[in-house]
Structure formats: structure tokens, C-alpha cells
Amino acid sequence: MDLQRIVEETWNELADERGSGNPARYIPALALVDPRKFGIALATREGEVFCAGDADEQFSIQSISKVFALALALERHGPGLWEAVGREPSGDPFNSIVQLEREKGIPRNPFINSGAIVTTDRFVDDRTPEQAVGDLMSRLRRMGRDESINFDEDVARSESETGSRNRSLAYFLADFGRLMNPVEDVLSVYFRQCALAMSCRQLAESSLFLPFDGTDPVTGQEMCSPSRSRRINALMLLCGHYDNSGQFAFEVGVPGKSGVGGGILASVPGRASIAVWSPGLNRAGTSMLGAKALSSIALKTGWSVFSGRPPQI
């Protein structure tokens, strides 16, 4: 299979639609991004990375960071995390608080905002916010093989200043006694984590542990056990796009996680890690062109976790 050709063809077919969808505007740093940006990067087991468009430009990965935070929180805190956060789709938007009241402060899953705040709290554990952020950065730099990976300070500050909804969710969790650390400490890590700036290439490379049973097949670095990586993939498939997860599974057919910065990370078990970026979002906060690109790559490659065709490797 000529993956470079597939990636390029996909980019070309969709190039005319650049600018469609609605970019997030709630903070200036996101609103200022050129809505016509469009990048694709596909990384394989063999260490190859096939790119198109703005694949090397960094963008705010936002909620995609929840995948890394989950892996690291499980590593640090262990399965006890699952006593504080569920593993079921919520059927609600990313920032909904309704379910949280009904279920006494146990978020449905680690990918809705409330669940991600709990996850970040458990990743912080008994450390200071600075120690936790330092650890997060060094881990991502190692996984992405790039010492320059960092969070965007402007974005982090803006997130904090405009973060009333997340603050409301965090205090709600605190009211139920669900946080180990003070609300503002947890949020200070959460806002920086969401402000991580990475390129499609960096994202695809640093997440190869997901499709390959927990271990980066290129560097041999183990991020988690095979069973844990499968479970993270399961959560991505069921909950990675909030109340649009079913639609994504239906159209694309592989685990994915979207961010309001316009990025989507897809994990194709046994095959590849794919990152796409285009700022315009659909109603549910998923990149419109990004989802189309992944759908097209899935069609062209025949990749789908639901496919019965014998693998073509």
C-alpha cells in the first residue's frame, strides 16, 4: 500500500474545503489561527512518517492531551483511578455538569472535561503542580523525540482566565470530595496540559504506543502494558468525541480523540498512528476536515477495527 500517495491524495481532495467549519474562538490565541491550515501525518510501525500540508506546524492540541494524561495517571496512580472516574460514554457534551450531579461527582469517563480534571488530579498525585507539569513535559518530549515540545503560555493563561466552566466543574468535583489536590492547583496543571503545542508529526510519533500494544515499535520505549493500551483505545472509540463518538466510530471506524484546536489523533491498532489538523469544527467540537480526512484514509486503506478483511501487511 502506497501510504504516502494515500495521504497526499486525501489532502488534495479536501484542500478546497479548507476553512469550512467553525474554529474555536473562546480565547484569542485560538481565534487567531489561520482557519485554512490543514495537515496530516501518518506514522507506522517501521518508523516511517507520511505527511501532507501543514504537518510540521505546531497547534494547540487541547483535549487530545487527555489521552496522554490518562496513560500517565494510570501509570502513576494505578487502576484506583477507576474508582473516581467511569468508563462509559456520557451521551452529553464535553462540558456538561448534569450527569455529574446525578452520579455524585463521578464523571462518566476520562475524556469529558470533568473526567479529565479528575485524571489530571491523580496524575499530579502528591506532587506540586510544577513538578507534575515538568514530568508531563519530559515524558512527551521523550515520546515525541523532540526536546522542543512545550505548552503555549499565552494559551494556558487565556484558558485560565476564561475557564469559568472548567472552574465550575472542578469546584463541583471538590464539593463531592473527588479531588486530592486544591482546585486551583489541579486547574493550573490542566490548563497547561490543554495548552500543549505539537505538530501532526509530533503527535503521530509520540502516540505510536496506542496502536502497538503500549510500546513504541520504533524506539522500543514501553509506555504501558498491552492490556492498558487496548483499554485506552476502547475508551477513545467510545468516548473520544463526546456526543459525536458514535458518528465517528460509524464513519471512521478507529479509536480517535479530538481537540477544539482542530486536531484529531487516530490510533489504528496494528497499523499506524494518524494525526490530522484543521481548525474548523463541527457542532460537537470535532475538526470537520480532520474527520473527513480520517474517513477518507480509512476508506482508501480499508483500515477499520470492524473490518473482516484479512490484514494486508
- Catalytic annotation present for 242: yes
Burial class (CB in 10 A: 0-12, 13-18, 19+), 102: exposed
Smallest distance, a second copy to C-beta of residue 271, A: 8
Per-residue string for binding with a second copy, 173-202, x by CB under 8 A?
A: -xx-------x-------------------
Among 245, 286, 296, 301, binds a second copy (CB under 8 A): 245
Grid-cell match 479529565, residue found: 116
Smallest distance, a second copy to C-beta of residue 223, A: 12
- Catalytic annotation present for 63: yes
Segment near a second copy (CB under 8 A), from 10-18, 61-69, 73-81, 300-308? 300-308
Cα dist from 232 to 115, 126, 228, whole Å: 14, 24, 6
169 sits near a second copy (criterion: CB under 8 A)? yes
In angstroms, the CA 300 to CA 1 distance is: 10
- Catalytic annotation present for 66: yes
307 sits near a second copy (criterion: CB under 8 A)? yes
Strands 150-151 and 196-198: antiparallel
Please name which of 189, 198, 119 lies closest in space to residue 159, comparing C-alpha atoms.
Answer: 189
Question: Which residues, at least 6 apart from 78, have a Cβ–Cβ distance to it below 8 Å?
Answer: none
Smallest distance, a second copy to C-beta of residue 300, A: 13
Among 242, 252, 258, 278, which one carries the catalytic annotation?
242
Among 124, 260, 268, 276, which one carries the catalytic annotation?
260
Smallest distance, a second copy to C-beta of residue 193, A: 19
Per-residue string for binding with a second copy, 205-234, x by CB under 8 A?
A: ------xxx------------x--xxx-xx
Instruction: Say whether 260 counts as a known binding-site residue.
Output: yes
- Catalytic annotation present for 260: yes
269 sits near a second copy (criterion: CB under 8 A)? yes
Smallest distance, a second copy to C-beta of residue 170, A: 8
Residues that contact a second copy, how many (by CB under 8 A): 59
Query: Residues marked as binding?
Result: 63, 113, 159, 166, 190, 242, 260
- Positions in the binding site for a second copy (CB under 8 A): 86-92, 96-99, 101-102, 108-109, 164-165, 167-172, 174-175, 183, 211-213, 226, 229-231, 233-235, 237-239, 243-247, 249-250, 253, 255, 269-270, 304-311, 313
Supply the residues annotated as catalytic.
63, 66, 190, 242, 260
